[in-house]
């Protein structure tokens, strides 16, 4: 299969995302990871724009040796000279010259005629060729440039020495069929087109950057310009990970591949996200937290039986250790049982069913269930003693004098209700339970901790109670720490009641 070149512009166009400014060391760190990812070209920056950008390009050019290092320049002598200077130490340098060609840019931004545009473009390419053998030219806003004029420009810059011609959809205006037609028109009508690589650079203003890029590949483009996580100006650029994984997953359709080491995609995404501060949305393709996550019981059952039922890629291909089975209120017994087993527990069917029911109740209270939550439920199940007294409900009044009202169930139908005051809400609960059960406990130890993280974390309460000279322990878990405390105390009191009943 022919290889599509991946031109990464995360450090140039990606950094132009509002709020995504990167320091020199941060840029170098990302460049190192892009080298590990094995992209073909790294566009390291726009040297003329600042001293910092110049130094960043220069530092990357000195250190990164196995990837082509590119610097951007307007079709202006000082820009090109500056880019060449920044790339001086590069093993495989490329100067990327650009000049707008669309009618709207010619009229309102450049105020130049077509002839001047061609003359300036040719001059820029020739100047760049004095410094490097690898020159890329971009007719900015190509997708809104008149097709015949675009042919003239591309033919002229190739004749002047451009080795790559990039056809940008600068404002994300194109649609796939139109953009593919634009590439085909160049292939059919630019006489010297075979002397240069056809590249594409798509923006995502209409959410079509990846679709347009892939349509262009199908039409004959052999280099794709993209960014990690799709970051960039306005709505961003074509997403590198989506381009690469589409070509890999659907090689049957596209007939192309890349040299990218896809198992480095997640690591690269995390580094870029962390250093730029631009977080990836949960449902982002390939790298979002939900990309390989399943919560629906039907989906979980299918994936656990055969992954290809609901996954067209293996998570390991992009650098994830495994499929994420998200346990929540939609999860089924199959997924729950498998997770329990993975955690190292073998539960009898009756215990498993009861723990599953407790899990479903917990899932109604919090969105995502963590492994620690499940372990807490299992341990709670294993530590439980038979319920003589079972908590039905409780309410707390935390006024000047805290008061607790508690309702307990005894056996199948008997209900006990009472309330009393205490030094605090927990003390009031424990005293009310003493009152209802007739068992007076002396609290020796009480602790509560968070089982998992987040505001909806499961809280675990532990108590040690002395009754008639004997010590009894109780423990319980709940998303409500007050409820967990009541259940833990009641757990200890039930141990006392069971012992007395046996006697």
Q: Please give the Cα distance from 88 to 343 (Å, whole number).
A: 56
Q: Please give the Cα distance from 491 to 93 (Å, whole number).
A: 72
What is the fold, at CATH topology level, of the domain defined by 384-502? Double Stranded RNA Binding Domain (3.30.160)
Provide the residue ranges of all domains of the chain, joining segments of one domain with +. Answer: 2-276, 293-382, 384-502
Query: Which of 429, 418, 443, 432 lies closest to 396 in space, CA to CA?
Result: 429
What are the pLDDT digits (tens) for 334-344? 777 877 777 66
Q: No. of H helices and E strands in the chain? A: 17, 18
Mean pLDDT across the chain: 89
Percent of the chain scoring above 70 in pLDDT = 90
Q: Which CATH superfamily is domain 2-276 in?
A: Aldolase class I (3.20.20.70)
Q: Residue 83 has what pLDDT? A: 98
Q: Please give the Cα distance from 442 to 496 (Å, whole number).
A: 12
pLDDT band at 362 (very low <50, low <70, confident <90, very high): confident
What is the bridge-based pairing of β-strands 164-169 and 135-140? parallel
Least confident of 48-57, 67-76, 77-86, 357-366: 357-366
What are the pLDDT digits (tens) for 128-150? 999 999 999 999 999 999 999 99
Least confident of 21-30, 66-75, 425-434: 21-30
Instruction: State the pTM of this model.
Output: 0.71
Q: Is the pLDDT at 369 greater than 80, yes or no?
A: no
Q: Is the pLDDT at 173 greater than 60, yes or no?
A: yes
**Residue 439 near residue 416 (C-beta atoms within 8 A):** no
Kindly calculate the radius of gyration of the chain based on its CA atoms and give it in whole angstroms: 33
Q: Is the pLDDT at 57 greater than 60, yes or no?
A: yes
Q: Please give the Cα distance from 245 to 240 (Å, whole number).
A: 9
pLDDT band at 356 (very low <50, low <70, confident <90, very high): confident
Place of tokens 């927990």: 426
Q: Please give the Cα distance from 197 to 190 (Å, whole number).
A: 12
Q: Residue 294 has what pLDDT? A: 57
What are the pLDDT digits (tens) for 190-243? 999 999 999 999 999 999 999 999 999 999 999 999 999 999 999 999 999 999
Percent of the chain scoring above 90 in pLDDT = 64
Q: Is the pLDDT at 250 greater than 90, yes or no?
A: yes
Name 389's bridge partners.
410
Q: Residue 234 has what pLDDT? A: 93
Q: Please give the Cα distance from 93 to 44 (Å, whole number).
A: 11
**What mean pLDDT is predicted for residues 393-409?**
92
What are the pLDDT digits (tens) for 428-470? 999 999 999 999 999 999 998 887 666 667 788 889 999 988 8
DSSP conformation letters of 248-314:
HHTHHHH-EE----GGGHHHHHHHHHHHH--PPPTT-TTTSTTTTEE-SHHHHHHHHH-GGGT-SS-
């Amino acid at each position: 299969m022919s290889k599509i070149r991946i031109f990464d512009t995360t450090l140039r166009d990606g950094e132009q995302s509002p709020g995504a400014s990167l320091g020199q060391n941060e840029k170098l760190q990302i460049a190192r990871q892009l080298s590990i990812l094995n992209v073909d070209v790294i566009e390291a920056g726009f040297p003329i724009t600042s001293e910092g950008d110049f130094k960043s390009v220069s530092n990357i050019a000195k250190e990164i040796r196995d990837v082509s290092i590119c610097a951007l320049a307007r079709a202006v002598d000082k820009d090109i000279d500056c880019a060449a200077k920044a790339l001086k130490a590069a093993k495989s340098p490329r100067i990327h010259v650009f000049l707008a060609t669309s009618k709207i840019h010619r009229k309102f931004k450049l105020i130049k005629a077509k002839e001047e545009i061609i003359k300036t473009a040719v001059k820029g390419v020739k100047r760049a060729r004095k410094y490097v053998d690898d020159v890329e030219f971009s007719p900015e806003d190509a997708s809104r440039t008149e097709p015949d004029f675009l042919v003239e420009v591309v033919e002229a810059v190739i004749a002047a020495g451009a080795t790559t011609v990039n056809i940008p959809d600068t404002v994300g205006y194109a649609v796939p069929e139109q953009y593919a037609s634009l590439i085909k028109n160049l292939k059919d009508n630019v006489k010297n087109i075979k002397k240069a690589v056809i590249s594409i650079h798509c923006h995502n203003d209409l959410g079509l950057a990846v679709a347009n890029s892939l349509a262009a590949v199908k039409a004959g483009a052999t280099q794709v310009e993209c960014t990690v996580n799709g970051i960039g100006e306005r709505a961003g650029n074509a997403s590198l990970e989506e381009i690469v994984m589409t070509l890999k997953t659907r090689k049957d359709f596209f007939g192309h591949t890349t040299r990218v080491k896809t198992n480095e995609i997640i690591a690269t995404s995390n580094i870029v996200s962390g250093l730029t501060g631009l977080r990836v949305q949960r449902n982002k393709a390939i790298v979002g937290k939900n990309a390989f996550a399943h919560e629906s019981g039907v989906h979980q059952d299918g994936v656990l039986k055969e992954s290809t039922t609901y996954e067209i890629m293996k998570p390991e291909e992009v650098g994830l250790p495994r499929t994420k089975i998200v346990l929540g209120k939609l999860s089924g017994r199959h997924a729950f049982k498998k997770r329990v087993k993975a955690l190292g527990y073998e539960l009898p069917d009756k215990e498993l069913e009861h723990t599953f029911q407790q899990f479903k109740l917990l899932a109604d209270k919090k969105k995502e269930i963590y492994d620690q939550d499940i372990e807490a439920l299992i341990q709670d199940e294993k530590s439980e003693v038979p319920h003589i007294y079972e908590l039905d409900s409780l309410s707390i009044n935390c006024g000047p004098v805290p008061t607790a009202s508690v309702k307990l169930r005894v056996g199948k139908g008997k209900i006990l209700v009472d309330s009393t005051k205490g030094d605090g809400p927990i003390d009031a609960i424990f005293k009310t339970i003493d009152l209802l059960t007739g068992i007076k406990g002396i609290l020796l130890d009480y602790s509560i901790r968070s089982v998992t993280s987040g505001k909806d974390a499961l809280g675990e309460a532990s108590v040690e109670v002395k009754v008639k000279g004997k010590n009894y322990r109780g423990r319980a878990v709940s998303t409500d720490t007050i409820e967990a405390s009541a259940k833990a105390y009641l757990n200890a009191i039930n141990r006392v009641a069971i012992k007395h009943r046996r006697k």
